[in-house]
Amino acid sequence: MRVSLIQFAAVTDTAENLEVVTGMVTKAAATPASQRSDGHLIVLPEGAMHDFGAPDLPLGPAAQSLDGEFVTALARLAGKVGATIVAGMFEASNDPDRPFNTVVVIGRQGELVARYRKTHLYDSFGYRESARMLAGDGVPVVVPFEGLTLGLLTCYDLRFPELARALVDAGADTLVVPAAWVRGPSKEDHWATLLRARAIENTSFVLGAGQSGPSYIGSSMVVDPMGVVVSGLGAGAGVATADLDPRVIGEVRRRNPSLANRRMPPAS
């Protein structure tokens, strides 16, 4: 299976973002058939539809439903290029001021396969995402794909290992993490360390697709179940591509059966 992580700097104009996404996805999917794997997964960052913007920018007016312009355009694009697309958006809720921070999975036929609403809102490092967004219910969302099972996370969720483990317990062996990882002291190190830790402790692939630009670190990367970065990017826009073999997961889990060896502490 081929995976491509799309890294770009989203703006607060959905039409402009769609134009950039269309060009980058089309280019990423244009690999000659002789070099293609059976399936192609293309992962866009958190906020690919519309950037967070300034901390006081209202996000309710930017939110869309799952049959709105953004998802409809992604569906057409997925069908055109024959790839499955994962992307972050702001999904309209019953609260006109606070949408959900949502990840959608669009299948290669243009169908909406899954939706995940971010569980852990980024109320940290002086930022309060909960002032502008609603949290999801925390129910693990897993998606079968080409011999793998994807588990969906979003950005700050990466700092909570119990959610990644719940996804793995639900069958995930590939954690997909769209992100807009904000710049700051040690933030690049945190991102890389946490991606690799989630891979090692869960003996799973981890796919971290981040926004670039002045506010975010970029640094998208594909990490294998041994914690090795097999493809990655720096701070600028680009595409990180890797071919994943599902058999690697079984091989690593036989050599390092930490999931099978897990012992839970007694209930208090």
At 63-98, the pLDDT tens digits run 999 999 999 999 999 999 999 999 999 999 999 999
Average pLDDT on 135-149 reads: 97
Contacts of 81 (CB under 8 A, 6+ apart): 25, 26, 29, 30, 40, 42
Phi, then psi, of 70 in degrees rounded to 5? -65, -55
46 is an active site residue: yes
Above 80 in pLDDT, residue 35?
no
Catalytic residue among 91, 129, 146, 155: 155
Task: Confirm whether 155 is a catalytic residue.
Answer: yes
Looking at residue 268, its pLDDT comes to: 76
Q: Which of 46, 91, 129, 146 is catalytic?
A: 46
- Which residues, 6 or more positions from 140, have their beta carbon under 8 angstroms from its beta carbon? 151, 163, 166, 167, 169, 170, 172
Of 69, 111, 118, 162, catalytic = 118
pLDDT reading at 188 higher than 50: yes
Task: Please tell me what DSSP assigns to residue 236.
Answer: S
Is residue 33's pLDDT more than 90?
no
Banded pLDDT at 267 (limits 50, 70, 90)? confident
List pLDDT tens digits, range 200-224. 999 999 999 999 999 999 999 999 9
**Do the Cβ atoms of 211 and 8 come closer than 8 Å?**
yes
Instruction: Report phi then psi at 161, rounded to 5.
Output: -65, -25
Dist. CA 198–CA 221, nearest whole Å: 13
**Percent of the chain clearing pLDDT 90 (strictly above):** 95
**Confidence check: pLDDT of 191 > 60:** yes
Q: What distances in angstroms separate CA 73 from CA 45, 145, 146, 245, 262, one per listed residue?
A: 16, 22, 24, 30, 44
**Spatial distance between the Cα atoms of 168 and 38, rounded to a whole number of angstroms:** 24
Asked if 162 is an active-site residue, the reply is no
pLDDT for res 48: 98
DSSP for residue 35: G
